[in-house]
Amino acid sequence: MSADHSGTTGYEGLLEAGAVLPAGTLAGAGRPGSAADVLTARSYAHPVLGERRVVRLVPAMLGPAEDLAADFLGLAPAAAPVEVGEVRQEALGFPAWALVHDPANGHHALALVKEMERLARQAKSKPGNAKEGFEALAVRLGRAVPQFLPTYCEEVGRIFLEQGNQTYAGTFFGKAREAERTHGLEIDEERLRAVFLEFALAGALTVKALRQYVKELAGRLDPGTAWQRFRQLCTERSAAGMAPYAGVAEDARSLIRAAGLDRAEHEQALLAELLASPAVDRAPGAFWKSWHGALIELARRDEAVRARLLEILPNPSSSDDKGDGDRAWLAVLAESGAEELLTGPRAAGAEPAAAWLRRWSAHLGRGWRTRESCADTVALAGRMAERLRADGVPVDLLTDRRRRSTTELNLLDLLLAERVPVAGPPEDLTVRRIQRCR
Of 43, 72, 88, the last residue of a domain is: 88
Domain assignment present for 379: yes
14 or 210, higher pLDDT? 210
Domain assignment present for 301: no
Q: Report how many domains make up the chain.
A: 2
Average pLDDT over residues 185-200: 88
Of 60, 88, 116, the last residue of a domain is: 88
Domain assignment present for 369: yes
Three-class HEC string of the chain: CCCCCCCHHHHHHHHHCCCCECCCCCCCCCCCCCCEEEEEEEEEECHHHCCCCEEEEEEHHHHHHHHHHHHHCCCEECCCCEEEEEEECCCCCCCHHHHHHCHHHHHHHHCCHHHHHHHHHHCCCCHHHHHHHHHHHHHHHHHHCHHHHHHHHHHHHHHHHHCCCHHHHHHHHHHHHHHHHHCCCCCCHHHHHHHHHHHHHCCCCCHHHHHHHHHHHHHHCCHHHHHHHHHHHHHHHHHCCCCCCCCHHHHHHHHHHHHCCCHHHHHHHHHHHHHCCHHHHHCCHHHHHHCHHHHHHHHHHCHHHHHHHHHCCCCCCCCCCCCHHHHHHHHHHHHHCCCHHHHCCCCCCCCCHHHHHHHHHHHHCCCCCCCCCCHHHHHHHHHHHHHHHHHCCCECCCCCCCCCCCCHHHHHHHHHHCCCCECCCCCCCCHHHHHHHC
Show the domain range for 436: 353-438
Name the pTM for this structure. Answer: 0.75
pLDDT band at residue 437, thresholds of 50, 70 and 90?
very low
pLDDT band at residue 90, thresholds of 50, 70 and 90?
confident
Domain assignment present for 380: yes
Domain assignment present for 386: yes
Domain assignment present for 213: no
Domain assignment present for 286: no
Of 88, 121, 154, the last residue of a domain is: 88
pLDDT at 6: 40
pLDDT per position as a tens digit, 93-133: 888 888 888 888 988 988 898 899 999 999 999 999 999 99
Domain assignment present for 180: no
